[in-house]
């Protein structure tokens, strides 16, 4: 196992600078081997290519951590049911993936490396297909937009009423398909705990160049019909087992934290929860009044707003989220949840590791942008 992990990581280091080309070659090969799979994806493949890269990087990072990797693959397998993926597709995917890695690995590729990648892919595909086969729930849930509120030019709150409650845990995310962008699934995180009425609240920021997010912020309408995929993610809190919890959120990254807080607020006693909620300007902290209201009635919850700009404002911490959080210490004994843009997550995790926060105490999800 250790040799396989080493070989995979060494090969990946070689191809990583070429990941865009790796993804393009992969999909070209896949559609050549299995033309029917082309119908599973949107006309524009840019988002799907970037999503493949994030998933691949996430798997590579966890390849020697089966306790984390297998649950992720099980979730991914259940989620892929919405595409109409069947077991036969996995063979074509594996062939295309190995061919693409081989093409871009150059002299780093040999028979031993190929066997390592083939063995790893077999484990991945088996975990995904077994989870998909064992899931007796629907491949997706139908929902209708019942509320669309544009808070500013780039952020909107959208509420969706599902025909059946989606069985997500507070902090998990789901994929959604909307009429504005058919077949272009986008990952969103509910900002509320699961409700009996099936209503899910989503906070959507229009990402620069984002095909789906910009359409949702500007053009989602009451009455729109959405499809919602299986829940994914591991940013959850077990209130009976968890130590104290540090939440670090930038912008709409507050959504999973809100869902967890929404759930914890139903109980009288909880672990301590410290939230650092950051943005460039006060407008970015659109949910701050709601969080402060919850904190007034729940002594276990502390909210610290953080601003990079507007130094004249008081009652906030000034600086970047990584700066401010590590200014308070290393948080060695806390569970740490991080949510926001990919750049913010990378910077925060990096700074916390340098400050002494144990890596196995930090959790974040790989799918964070359009």
Report the CATH number that the domain containing residue 177 is assigned in CATH. Answer: 2.40.30.10
Q: Is residue 165 assigned to a domain?
A: yes
Does residue 153 belong to any structural domain of this protein? yes
Q: What is the separation of C-alpha 113 from the centre of its chain, rounded to a whole number of angstroms? A: 30
Tokens of 361: 């105490």
Domain boundary among 100, 134, 168: 134
Number of structural domains the chain divides into: 3
pLDDT tens-digit readout, 286-301? 999 999 999 999 999 9
The answer on 168 and 101 residing in a single domain is: no
For residue 34, the tally of other CB atoms under 10 A from its CB is 17
Query: Could you tell me if residue 217 is inside a domain?
Result: yes
Q: Could you say which DSSP state residue 202 is in?
A: E
Separation of CA 248 from chain center:
15
Task: Say if residue 183 is in the same domain as residue 102.
Answer: no
**Residue 238 within a domain:** no
- In-domain check, residue 60: yes
Q: State whether 155 and 101 are in the same domain.
A: no
**Residue 314, domain extent:** 245-364
Domain stop point among 134, 169, 199 = 134
Give the whole-angstrom CA distance, residue 283 versus residue 286: 6
Residue 44 forms part of a structural domain: yes
| 331 and 296 co-located in one domain | yes
In this structure, the answer to whether residues 88 and 155 fall within a common structural domain is: no
Domain match, 300 and 177 both: no
93 and 153 together in one domain: no
- Is 239 a member of any domain? no
In a domain, 196, yes or no: yes
SS3 content of the chain, % helix, strand, coil (to 5): 50, 20, 30
Report residue 219 as tokens.
């053009």
Q: Distance (Å, rounded) from C-alpha 22 to C-alpha 368?
A: 21
Q: Residue ranges of the chain with pLDDT lower than 70?
A: 1, 40-54, 57, 61, 86-87, 366-370
CATH number, position 46: 1.10.490.10
Can you give the pTM of this predicted structure?
0.80
Contacts of 289 (CB under 8 A, 6+ apart): none
Of the residues 207, 232, 257, the one at which a domain ends? 232
Helix extents (H) in the chain: 2-15, 19-33, 46-62, 66-79, 87-105, 111-134, 211-219, 254-264, 288-296, 321-327, 342-355
Nearest Cα neighbor of 211 from 18, 73, 50, 60 is: 50
Which residue has tokens 């948080």? 331
From the list 54, 136, 121, 66, the residue with the least C-alpha distance to 90 is: 121
Do residues 143 and 228 make contact, with C-beta atoms less than 8 angstroms apart? yes
CA distance 51 to 174: 14
If asked whether residues 225 and 260 sit together in one domain, one would say no
CB 294 within 8 A of CB 273: no
Calculate the alpha carbon distances from 261 to 173, 245, 267, 289, 336 in Å.
15, 11, 10, 14, 14
Distances (CA, A) of 46 to 43, 196, 253: 9, 37, 23
pLDDT cut 90: percent of the chain above it: 58
One domain, residues 95 and 18: yes
Residue 311 sits in a domain whose CATH number is: 3.40.50.80
Q: Does 277 lie in the same domain as 164? A: no
The string of pLDDT tens digits covering residues 98-154 is 999 999 999 999 999 999 999 888 888 888 888 888 888 888 999 999 999 999 889
- For residue 44, the model assigns a pLDDT of 61
Q: What does DSSP say about strands 174-178 and 181-188: parallel, antiparallel, or unpaired?
A: antiparallel
Compute the distance between CA of residue 142 and CA of residue 138 in angstroms, rounded to an integer: 10
Do residues 103 and 167 share a domain?
no
pLDDT at 53: 63
Same domain, 121 and 145: no
């Amino acid at each position: 196992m250790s040799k396989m992990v080493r070989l995979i990581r060494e090969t990946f280091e070689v191809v990583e600078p070429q990941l865009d080309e790796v993804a393009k070659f992969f999909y070209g090969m896949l559609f050549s081997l299995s033309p029917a799979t082309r119908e599973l994806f949107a006309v524009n493949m840019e988002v799907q290519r970037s999503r493949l890269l994030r998933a691949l990087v996430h798997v590579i990072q966890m390849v020697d951590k089966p306790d984390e990797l297998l649950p992720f693959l099980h979730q991914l397998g259940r989620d892929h049911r919405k595409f109409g993926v069947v077991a036969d597709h996995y063979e074509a995917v594996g062939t295309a993936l190995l061919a693409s890695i081989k093409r871009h690995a150059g002299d780093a590729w040999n028979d031993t490396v190929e066997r390592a990648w083939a063995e790893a892919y077999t484990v991945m595909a088996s975990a995904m297909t077994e989870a998909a086969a064992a899931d007796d729930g629907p491949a997706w849930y139908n929902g209708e937009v019942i509320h669309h509120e544009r808070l500013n030019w780039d952020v909107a709150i959208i509420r969706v009423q599902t025909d059946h409650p989606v069985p997500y845990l507070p902090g998990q995310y789901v994929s959604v398909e909307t009429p504005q962008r058919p077949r272009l699934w986008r990952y969103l995180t509910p900002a509320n705990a699961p409700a009996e009425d099936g209503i899910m609240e989503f906070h959507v920021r229009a990402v620069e160049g984002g095909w789906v997010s910009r359409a949702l912020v500007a053009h989602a309408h009451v009455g729109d019909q959405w499809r919602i995929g299986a829940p994914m993610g591991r940013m959850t809190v077990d209130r009976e087992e968890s130590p104290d919890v540090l939440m670090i959120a930038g912008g709409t990254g507050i959504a999973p934290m809100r869902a967890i807080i929404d759930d914890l607020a139903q109980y009288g006693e909880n672990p301590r929860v410290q939230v650092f909620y950051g943005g460039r300007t006060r407008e970015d902290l659109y949910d701050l009044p709601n969080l402060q209201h919850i904190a007034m009635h729940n002594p276990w919850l502390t909210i610290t707003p953080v601003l990079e700009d507007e130094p004249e404002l008081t009652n906030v911490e000034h600086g970047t989220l990584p700066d401010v959080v590590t200014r308070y210490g290393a948080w060695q004994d806390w569970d740490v949840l991080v949510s926001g843009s990919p750049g913010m997550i990378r910077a925060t995790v990096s700074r916390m590791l340098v400050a002494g926060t144990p890596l196995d105490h930090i959790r974040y999800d790989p799918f964070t942008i359009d």
